[in-house]
């Protein structure tokens, strides 16, 4: 090629790209969904309307979603879950038996493994980038995708249950579930509201450095719902306050989430006793440090249907006399043993335990 032709060539190439790019983008936006529908979701967490062709063979990409599916009674429809999904027990049993496949972790679902299961429906979280990236490819294979809210607060959790009701065409069950949860929350509130002074609670997600919850988070809502005050409620998000602040706020109760830490729950409590700052807090001095691990921890940190259990547990910790409960300082997956039945003041009798406690084997 001669030098003079070069400029023409460059321009030609650029024209090709400038035309091709919008064509590709446009072509990708064409959707074709002409399949029989079992259920319709009017608006999922991304505002999409989704026609679900069938809800047999479902993949869940988040542990809280898995729990919600089970709560709706459709646990048997699941064929794929994440490595972190571990509740209820049926999930673990089925993984061992090989009837439930792990499709990746929470942050990195494997599209290949999802597709390999030949699901009809995949449930994702709208807050995870890698989940969103799955939508196009799954829909290209005529797999319905429904997105759920990440659960920043209790409202989102209730909305998720609503959406789940639309997914399984069982709005009745969904509203039953939410009604029960609300009712239990109200009962807890009724019991604890007699106390005008709310105990100060510090919830530590991590201890070194201290990671705690500010106000307006899911965990903060649990604390408030249990009748306590979040000592760091004036902050937002998940802050890392300095130890001086701990001295300043003087928590009466400290809840530590202990699964990820290297020490055993007992060691954690002991180290806090020996720590110069932690040791000075009212919580440590009065022996009100509680370490939640295993499934107990999941109640607090997994934004899903078991949050009422978390609220219940925390309320029992804060006001043991009101609940006739005796919760030990270290609580693991046997936490449900400590949940006493909630009295039903209106009817004067006892009401059922919370739904999730029922499904435990």
Give the nearer residue to other proteins in terms of CB position, either 9 or 358: 9
Least separation, in Å, of the C-beta of 214 and other proteins? Answer: 11
Q: Where in 237-276 is the site for other proteins (CB under 8 A)?
A: 237-238, 240
Burial of 169 (0-12, 13-18, 19+ CB in 10 A): middle
* Residue (of 82, 180, 77, 80) closest to 128 by Cα position: 82
Least separation, in Å, of the C-beta of 257 and other proteins? Answer: 14
Among 92, 111, 261, 357, binds other proteins (CB under 8 A): 111
Map residues 36-75 to x or -, x wherever contact with other proteins holds by CB under 8 A.
Answer: ----------xxx---------------------------
3-state secondary structure 210-240: EEECCECCHHHHHHHHCCCEECCCCCECCCC
Among 56, 133, 243, 346, binds other proteins (CB under 8 A): 133
Among 92, 95, 115, 198, binds other proteins (CB under 8 A): 115
Q: How far is CA 81 from CA 67, 71, 104, 138, 358, in A?
A: 11, 15, 8, 16, 22
Least separation, in Å, of the C-beta of 84 and other proteins? Answer: 12
Among 38, 110, 329, 333, binds other proteins (CB under 8 A): 110
Least separation, in Å, of the C-beta of 225 and other proteins? Answer: 20
8-state DSSP, 343: B
Least separation, in Å, of the C-beta of 260 and other proteins? Answer: 15
Q: Contact at 8 Å (CB) between 227 and 319?
A: yes
Least separation, in Å, of the C-beta of 299 and other proteins? Answer: 18
What's the rounded Cα separation, in Å, for the pair 121 and 164?
12
Can residue 21 be called a binding residue for other proteins (CB under 8 A)? yes
**Which runs of consecutive H residues, i.e. helices, occur in 123-217?**
129-132, 134-140, 154-167, 171-192
What's the rounded Cα separation, in Å, for the pair 177 and 165?
10
Q: How big is the site for other proteins, counted in residues (CB under 8 A)?
A: 46
Q: Where in 199-218 is the site for other proteins (CB under 8 A)?
A: 211
Q: 261 in the Ramachandran plot: left (φ > 0), alpha (ψ -120 to 50) or beta?
A: beta
Among 130, 176, 259, 271, binds other proteins (CB under 8 A): 130
User: Tokens 């089925």 identify what position?
Assistant: 94
Q: Contact at 8 Å (CB) between 283 and 248?
A: no
What's the rounded Cα separation, in Å, for the pair 344 and 350?
5
Q: Where in 301-360 is the site for other proteins (CB under 8 A)?
A: none
Among 42, 116, 155, 270, binds other proteins (CB under 8 A): 116
Q: Where in 88-107 is the site for other proteins (CB under 8 A)?
A: 104-105, 107
What's the rounded Cα separation, in Å, for the pair 246 and 334?
30
Instruction: Report residue 94 as tokens.
Output: 């089925």
Give the nearer residue to other proteins in terms of CB position, either 114 or 331: 114
Q: Where in 134-163 is the site for other proteins (CB under 8 A)?
A: 135-137, 140-141
Give the nearer residue to other proteins in terms of CB position, either 211 or 338: 211
Least separation, in Å, of the C-beta of 285 and other proteins? Answer: 30
Q: Contact at 8 Å (CB) between 221 and 153?
A: yes
Q: Characterize 264-298 residue by residue with b for buried, 16 or more Cβ atoms within 10 angstroms of its Cβ, and e for exposed.
A: ebeebbeebeeeeebeebebbeeebbbbbbbbbbb
Give the binding site for other proteins (CB under 8 A): 1-3, 6, 9-10, 13-14, 16-17, 20-21, 24-25, 27-29, 46-48, 104-105, 107-108, 110-113, 115-116, 118, 127-130, 132-133, 135-137, 140-141, 211, 237-238, 240
């Amino acid at each position: 090629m001669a030098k003079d032709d070069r400029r023409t060539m460059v321009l030609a190439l650029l024209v090709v790209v400038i035309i091709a790019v919008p064509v590709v983008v446009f072509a990708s936006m064409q959707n074709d969904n002409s399949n029989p529908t079992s259920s319709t979701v009017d608006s999922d967490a991304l505002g999409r309307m989704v026609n679900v062709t069938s809800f047999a063979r479902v993949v869940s990409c988040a542990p809280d979603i898995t729990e919600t599916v089970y709560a709706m009674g459709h646990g048997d429809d699941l064929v794929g879950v994440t490595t972190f999904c571990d509740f209820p027990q049926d999930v673990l049993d089925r993984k061992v038996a090989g009837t439930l496949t792990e499709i990746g972790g929470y942050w990195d679902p494997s599209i290949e493994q999802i597709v390999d299961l030949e699901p009809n429906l995949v449930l994702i979280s709208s807050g995870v980038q890698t989940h969103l990236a799955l939508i196009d490819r799954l829909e290209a294979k005529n797999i319905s995708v429904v997105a759920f809210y990440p659960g920043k607060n209790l409202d989102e959790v209730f909305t998720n249950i609503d959406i789940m009701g639309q997914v399984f065409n069982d709005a009745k069950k969904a509203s039953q579930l939410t009604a029960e949860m609300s009712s239990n929350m109200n009962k807890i509130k009724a019991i604890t509201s007699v106390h005008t002074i709310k105990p100060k609670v510090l919830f530590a997600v991590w201890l070194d450095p201290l990671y705690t919850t500010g106000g307006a988070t899911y965990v903060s809502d649990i604390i408030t719902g249990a009748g306590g005050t979040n000592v760091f409620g004036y902050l937002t998000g998940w802050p890392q306050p300095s130890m001086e602040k701990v001295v300043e706020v003087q928590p009466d109760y400290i809840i530590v989430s202990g699964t990820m830490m290297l020490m055993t729950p007992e060691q954690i409590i002991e180290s806090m006793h020996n720590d110069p700052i932690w040791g000075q807090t009212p919580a440590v001095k009065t022996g009100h440090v509680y370490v939640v691990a295993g499934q107990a921890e999941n109640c607090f940190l997994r934004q899903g249907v078991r949050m009422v259990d978390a609220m219940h547990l925390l309320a029992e910790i804060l006001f043991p006399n009101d609940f006739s409960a005796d919760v030990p300082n270290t609580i693991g997956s046997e936490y449900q043993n400590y949940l006493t039945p909630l009295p039903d003041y209106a009817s004067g009798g006892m009401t059922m335990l919370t739904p999730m406690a029922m499904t435990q084997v």
